[in-house]
Amino acid sequence: MSGRHGQAIFASHGHLVLVDELPEPPARDAARFTRLPDVLPLVVQHAPDIPYTAAAVHRVAHADTGAPEEVEVDFQAGRWPSSKVSPGVRHHRRGPADQWPRGAARIAGELAELAYGSDAEAIVVSGTPWARNVLVNRLPRPLRERVVAVPGDGRGTGPGRALMERELDEALRGRLSARDRARMETFLAQRARGGGAVEGMADVVAALQRGQVSALLLNTPVQFWGPLWTGSQPTEIALSPAELESFGVLGFQEGPAGAALIRALVRTGAELVVVPRTELPLVEGVGVLLRYTDPDTRS
């Protein structure tokens, strides 16, 4: 694969079980042999996971051959930023420039179908302003409200890379997905009321032990917490081995905190919401929305 990227590799019992390309290389190479796979660095790189559709529109002259001018359109759906290294199918259309107003209507229909099918939250467009604007004006009104026009021509990405990678980075950098923003706003409201949300590693672990967590909010850059101890069940998670012993858990092991948190979330059906620290600073970089509260829940 061309361009800047990293790679995550997981193996078990002598076999590769997952190889995944990372949108960005890790700060440093790392390898671990642990009972639980430490997938947190991989998971975080999928955030903010914004579904989008991108379209690059160009007016092309053929001065060397004398052929009539054409308009070329490339468009593609994806989820940012993982689509940097795992892009969807790229669609290419072209037609005479003097018939572009009519041709744009047909392509706008295809673009709309792709956007609705992928639940795109943003329609990012670049290229020749005149041709781009004609295309945008033929999109359905609900989609026109999601359009983000950016400078650039959408060209220059290498093999295996997303269409308009640089333009997408400019348009979507710092955003949260609509779902994540809703979870964050719910967390803020629950925290203000003094119930339904807790933060700090001790309270987060206590909530996971009781299966209370609806969504875990995680600050980036991720703090490097100390280890956690885990047993065989997802709710067998603790800050110390003594705590698991008090629950009667046997065969527990020490491991990376991120690995233990992700397993507990996945196995209890909870969500992960990655939030930049500048957007919402959390105590020790973690907080949770609760499914329910009880007298033992700390506020």
Q: Tell me the CA end-to-end span of the chain in Å, nearest whole number.
A: 48
According to the 3-state scheme, what is the secondary structure of 59-75?
EEEECCCCEEEEEEEEE
pLDDT of residue 225: 80
Which strands sit side by side in the sheet containing 253-255, from one edge to the other?
237-238, 228-230, 253-255
pLDDT tens digits for range 79-112? 999 999 999 999 999 999 999 999 999 999 999 9
- Mean pLDDT rounded to a whole number for the chain: 92
Q: How far apart are CA 61 and CA 124, in angstroms?
A: 24
Note the pLDDT of residue 71. Answer: 95
Q: Using alpha carbons, list the distances in angstroms from residue 23 to 6, 87, 198.
A: 7, 11, 31
Q: Which residues 6+ apart lie within 8 Å of 240 measured at CB?
A: 229
Calculate ∠ Cα 203-277-187, nearest 5°. Answer: 50
> pLDDT digits over 205-239, tens only?
999 999 999 999 999 999 878 899 999 999 999 99
Per-residue pLDDT tens digits for 157-206: 778 899 999 999 999 998 999 999 999 999 999 999 988 999 999 999 99
Q: What is the pLDDT of residue 138?
A: 97
Query: pTM of the full predicted structure?
Result: 0.88
